[in-house]
Amino acid sequence: MGTEREIRYAGRFMELRAKHEASVKAAEDKLAEELAQKQELLRREFEEGVDLSAERAKSTAAIDKAEKAVQEAKELRDAAFAYTVEKSKEGRVKALDLALDWNENFINGVREKELAPIVGRLASARSDMYNALLDFYELVDKYDPLRREIAELEDRESNAERRTTRYITEIEQDYNLPLVKEMDIRNIKNRRELPDGIKRK
């Protein structure tokens, strides 16, 4: 097991790497935002026929700036990683120290500060989804007896008049509801891609 000093160094290196990974992510998010704004400008020009060349020029400059920020953040991250590796080679920080610090200290902080709010949002969204689904089926229950009655009357009348029965539409079909799908979850997990129509928050 590493000494207290080595564990302390391990914690600093872990924080350093996490800090630079977060910086890269923030820069990439900013770039994605600028690219989305550029696409929105182009859409408006095409659909509305307005001249947004000045706005496009500003958007292009913002994209260039964001791309440079991403590159700089990645270079800093890589330098921090290289520094960590060099210090590890010097024997000041061993892989075991990093593993111990990860398991005993670092991951607990991440869980408390970053994971807990995400889990809270998932729990809230799960509750909202299930309650909305129950509301939907209760709405179906409310009007389905009337729908069935109308369908029965229509069926009798169509038989008497020897014509085709008109289908009496239900409130909605389950497959049209915006439910969570296993394929969407897989795409988010494996590709980090949101389903079509869902914007990153």
Mind listing the pLDDT tens digit for each residue in 170-200?
A: 888 888 888 888 999 999 999 888 888 888 8
| Percent of the chain clearing pLDDT 90 (strictly above) | 24
Helices (H) and strands (E) in the chain, counts: 6, 0
pLDDT per position as a tens digit, 1-18: 445 555 556 667 777 778
Entry pTM: 0.54
- C-alpha to C-alpha distance for 26 and 106, rounded to whole angstroms: 21
pLDDT per position as a tens digit, 127-171: 999 999 999 999 999 999 999 899 888 888 888 888 887 888 888
Residue type, 173: Q
pLDDT of residue 93: 62
pLDDT of residue 88: 60
Token digits for 116?
């807990």
pLDDT of residue 4: 58
| Percent of the chain clearing pLDDT 70 (strictly above) | 89
Judged against a pLDDT cut of 50, whether residue 53 lies above it is answered with yes
pLDDT per position as a tens digit, 92-137: 666 677 777 788 888 888 899 899 999 999 999 999 999 999 999 9
Residue whose token pair is 């998932």: 122
Q: What integer best gives the mean pLDDT of the chain?
A: 84
pLDDT per position as a tens digit, 69-102: 989 888 888 887 787 767 666 656 666 777 777 8
Burial class, 98, CB count within 10 angstroms (exposed 0-12 / middle 13-18 / buried 19+): buried
- C-alpha to C-alpha distance for 201 and 198, rounded to whole angstroms: 9
- C-alpha to C-alpha distance for 67 and 37, rounded to whole angstroms: 14
